[in-house]
Chain A
Amino acid sequence: MSVFYQILDGVRDRLALIPSVPTIVIRKRPILLQEDTLPLIIISPGQDSIGDEAFNNTVVYNYSVEVSIIQAGNRVYEADVATLFDLRENIRNQLFQPLLGGAVTVYDCQLETNPAFEVVSGQASNYDISGMVITYKSVETRIS
């Protein structure tokens, strides 16, 4: 299995440890299907890039993973604020760890958060969307 998918799988397993966590899915892109039940957490791959290199064919690859929380907002602006922050903090704490189970080459990560409540418009205006991007560092060997 590719390291990238190991990471996606590992992220899903980590998030599943959170008490009362919403449904978690891995998708190619952060797309909500019409048939989905809310709330939903979508794990999707971002960009992978080459980081540091060292002698003896050692290379660090960076794998970005997007985690998106989608829930019903429906113009209710006072309720569920604390609940969302609890979930968001739990996700952060589960993911911002040096190691990731199932992906043995991962040794560190960086985490960037988007606004807790994204500005949404048009037909998306009744959704609350919150996201973060975790970039995992994986030390691997170049083939030569």
Chain B
Amino acid sequence: MLTLDISNDFNYFDNTETITIQNKNDNPLVIDNVKRNAAVMGVDDGGGNVVYGAAIEFQIWKNCAPVDFVPKLNAKITDQFGKNYRVDTVEDMCWRTKWSVKATSDAGEGLN
């Protein structure tokens, strides 16, 4: 009987990366095999001003993170290029086998 195992789907993706994530008041944590979804880049109107930012979604497989790790809102993520993001939303996805983390790039770090 075929067994469906989606907890290690990172094996089937190219271009995974290693990120560092740091919850507020916590130590930085390095996580491998993170998959980055397509970015949404654009401008937004904040208080009558126009500023730049990028919305990114990272897929973090729980197999690749410590058991007790939970990404939290406003956590800082540093991608493989050293660019920083802050977490906007966290979803516990795919039968609780991975975290889907949406984040926005830090101020002044450009679009991508």
What is A's interface to B at a CB cutoff of 8 Å?
29-32, 34, 36-38, 42, 66, 68, 70-75, 114-115, 118-129, 131
Contact = CB atoms under 8 A, between A and B. Distances in A.
Interface residues on B, range: 20 to 34
Interface of B: 41-55, 74, 76, 84, 86, 88, 104-108, 110-111
Contacts of A125: 53, 86, 88, 104
Contacts of B108: 36-38, 72
15 contacts: A30-B49, A30-B50, A32-B51, A32-B52, A34-B52, A34-B110, A37-B108, A68-B48, A120-B47, A120-B51, A123-B52, A125-B104, A126-B106, A127-B51, A127-B53
A36 B102 CA distance: 25
Given A71-B107, A72-B108, A127-B107, A122 B44 contact: yes
Secondary structure at the A interface, as helix, strand, loop or mixed, is loop
A39 B106 CA distance: 13
A129 B54 contact: no
Given A74-B86, A126-B86, A121 B44 contact: yes
> In this complex, which of B53, B110, B111 has the most chain A Cβ atoms within 10 angstroms of its Cβ?
B53
